[in-house]
Amino acid sequence: SLSPSIRLISEPDKGLYDAMNKGLRIATGDYVWFVNAGDELPSPELLETIVNGIKDSPMGLPDVLYGDTLLVDATGREKGLRRLRPPHELGWRDFSNGMLVCHQAFIAKRLVAPPYNMKYRFSADFDWCIRILQASRNVVNTEMILIHSLDDRGGVTRKNHKASLIERFVIMKHYYGSKKSIFKHLGFIFRRKR
């Protein structure tokens, strides 16, 4: 039986990623999993299923567990799976194709989870996942829907879509080089226009 320790803190911060960094600093468990406001686990049993799977893993404790994301509206009605789908196997180079795994469907061992880079206001989660994957040896696809994510057209990233895209390009350029990042972004643009 799981008995999570819950601590609620409400105080001013310098934005979403500053608040998440506060959470990382006080986290004491083996893993960290960020579930945003409006998002929820698909079932109450999911956490126990994941924990039992980790305990029974022949490869030892995974550094990262990831899965799929089901988009829902404000009433909880299913809208379908996220457009970018997680690959069967995931490594840091895969994120050159975009954020293939939704941040809320990405569970990281606390010991490999660095603070979010505060120089990114809208895409620090993209950078964070890449850095974690670079430090990880055992990455496990749960092959489950891990999160019901609110398809909120008014979210912070969507309201600042252009700034978010620019940040993602800067992050991609840092990890994958200029040529590859430009080529990939041209591909993203052409796919959107279809």
CATH number at residue 87: 3.90.550.10
- Partnered with residue 78 across adjacent β-strands are 72
For residue 191, the model assigns a pLDDT of 52
Whether residue 35 is contained in a domain is answered as yes
For residue 115, the model assigns a pLDDT of 98
Digitized pLDDT (tens) for each residue of the chain, 194 residues in all: 455 667 777 888 888 999 999 999 999 989 999 998 889 999 989 999 998 888 877 778 899 999 999 999 988 899 999 988 999 999 999 999 889 999 999 999 999 999 999 999 999 999 999 999 999 999 999 999 999 998 865 455 556 778 888 899 899 999 998 877 776 666 555 555 44
Whether residue 98 is contained in a domain is answered as yes
Whether residue 4 is contained in a domain is answered as no
Question: Following CA atoms 23, 24, 30, 33 in sequence, which dihedral angle do they give, to the nearest 10 degrees?
Answer: 60
Instruction: State which residues form the domain around 65.
Output: 16-152
Whether residue 180 is contained in a domain is answered as no
For residue 189, the model assigns a pLDDT of 53
Question: Following CA atoms 9, 132, 144, 34 in sequence, which dihedral angle do they give, to the nearest 10 degrees?
Answer: 10
For residue 194, the model assigns a pLDDT of 45
Greatest CA separation for the chain: 50
Whether residue 41 is contained in a domain is answered as yes
Tally of structural domains, the chain: 1
For residue 105, the model assigns a pLDDT of 97
For residue 150, the model assigns a pLDDT of 87
Whether residue 37 is contained in a domain is answered as yes
For residue 190, the model assigns a pLDDT of 52
For residue 32, the model assigns a pLDDT of 96
Question: Sign of torsion, CA 165 170 175 178?
Answer: positive
Residues 6+ apart with CB under 8 A from 112: 63, 64, 132, 135, 136
Whether residue 158 is contained in a domain is answered as no
Whether residue 146 is contained in a domain is answered as yes
For residue 36, the model assigns a pLDDT of 86
Residue type, 182: I
For residue 17, the model assigns a pLDDT of 95
